[in-house]
Structures are given as C-alpha cells and as structure tokens.
Amino acid sequence: MGLFDTVKLYDDVRLPEYPDGVPPADEVAWQTKGIDRPEMGTFRITASGRLLKEEWHSEEVPPEDREYASRDDVDEDDPLYMAGCLRTVHDGWIERDDFHGRFQITSSFESVDPVVTYEVTFTHGQLERFERVR
C-alpha cells in the first residue's frame, strides 16, 4: 500500500475511453505514486493542461475544540486526548511548470473493472496527453 498523492481534475478535463456509469472524472479523487515522492499531497490538472500542487500548513487545535479531549471521561493520559490535535490549512496552489515526464493516475469503481488507470504525460509543465492503460 504505502503513501500516495491525490490528483484532482478540473471539470473541463476529458479522459479518453472514460467508462460509462461512473462519476464524472472531475469528481473522482485519483491516486498516484509517480509525481515526486508520494507524501499524501494533492495535485490538480487544469483545463489548460497545467499541473498544480497544493500548499498547506498545520495548525494546532486547542483541547476544548477536539472531539475527545473536551469530554469529561478523557484525561491527558488517554490516547484519545490527542486525536484531532492538528488541522490542515490550505495556503493555495503552486504551478509545477518544471514537471517533465509521465505518471499514472488510478481509481477504482464498483460498477466497472476494479481499477481504472491512465498514463499522464507532461512536457516541461504542459499536459500532452492522457492514455487509458487499464
């Protein structure tokens, strides 16, 4: 299994040979392990064929705002006390105009083949093509 990144497509991005009877491609959270080192990050492919990477930071959540830490039956020694102690804050998107190469995006759907995979090709930061490989 391991780490992966999520790739989201803008609504004007079209995938060739896209299966019938599944959610639109822009509503699917595609997975990849082929952009840089996977770090559970999020990328977007725009309608104009650019690759964007989400920038974010973490903020501490005070105990009184955590689901379990604020309960009377959970004290600081209980592992549940730390659940939800950090939140992710979106800082924006940066353009990956340096990306040159190929990677695969994959998703699974109950109504079709277990896994649908596309190979994505970028040349110097610009999308060249999607090719369905599975």
Summarised one tens digit per residue, pLDDT across range 15-37 is 999 988 888 999 998 999 999 88
Q: Is the entire prediction scored with pTM above 0.85? A: no
Please say whether the beta carbons of 104 and 32 come within 8 A.
Answer: yes
Report the share of the chain in percent with pLDDT over 70: 98
CB atoms within 10 A of CB 99: 20
Half-sphere exposure of 77 (CA within 13 A, CB side): 0
Take residue 68 and report the two structure tokens written for it: 């379990």
pLDDT single digits (tens) 46-103:
999 999 999 999 999 999 999 999 888 998 999 999 999 999 999 999 999 999 999 9
Q: Vertex 11, ends 29 and 56: CA angle to 5°?
A: 50
113 — pLDDT class (breaks 50, 70, 90): low
